Amino acid sequence: MSLLGGFAAAAPESGGAAGVPRHVAIIMDGNGRWAKARRLPRIAGHRKGAEAVRATVRAAHEIGIEALTLYAFSSENWRRPATEIADLMGLLRHYIRAELAELARNGVRLRVIGDWRKLEPDIVTMLDEAITGTAGNAGLTLTIALNYGAQDELLRVTRDLMRQARSGAIDPEALTETMIEDRLDTAGLPRLDLLIRTSGEQRLSNFLLWQAAYAELVFTDRLWPDFDKAALLDACAVFARRERRYGGL
């Protein structure tokens, strides 16, 4: 079954409709615990988690969400056992091969954020081809965070601004929030509305720190492999009930 297999190719309702967040990000947590509870190897949890990705992408399209950003592999995940990292990279290769045709057919545009070009060369090539092959699509934007860390992202932006300031291209006194946002990995995406974390943990874990400044945060005890359309709808319902003041009254 492919990542987007089974959902209609028709365009969804316009994003931003009443109660529907335009941009949703998810920290997909709990694959290992899901497997442990069933006395299965951790890779079984990751495979089941990939099925949850399919269901969630399909649901986001149907609901009318414009952008879905998934935290797939953090810069800190390199600390995991080498065998688990190898399994994860193998799973990534498999799904890139399996999903590209479906992404294109269903109008989904793929983006990748993070320092992902430091992954193995064949994975980088496959991702480049997937990004190029879906660049003209106008449906849901699916962004995968790979080798991503928000502190690293902000450090890269800071270094770029400092280089331009030294060359005289930028006046430090004229620096604006927009100038920073235009250099973030997420530049061009709608502002983040809703950030969801599964598995009961209640922290951002170095994910979209700048972008989450005024996002609504929803934490659920559900483990990622059990996440589905109903869980996404529940989170969106919580979002719809909240009053967003952005610091005002």
- Strands in 216-219's sheet, in edge-to-edge order, are 109-113, 141-148, 67-74, 23-27, 194-197, 216-219
Catalytic positions are 29, 77
Q: Which residues are annotated as a binding site?
A: 29-34, 42, 46, 74-76, 78, 80, 197, 203-205, 216
Q: Which residues are annotated as a binding site for substrate?
A: 30-34, 42, 46, 74-76, 78, 80, 197, 203-205
First-to-last C-alpha distance (Å) of the chain: 48
Q: Which residues are annotated as a binding site for Mg(2+)?
A: 29, 216
Token pair in block for residue 13: 């309702």
The C-alpha atoms of residue 225 and residue 228 are separated, in whole angstroms, by: 8
* Nearest to 156, CA basis, from 144, 168, 148: 148
Helix-then-strand count for the chain, H and E: 7, 6
* Nearest to 75, CA basis, from 125, 116, 30, 43: 116
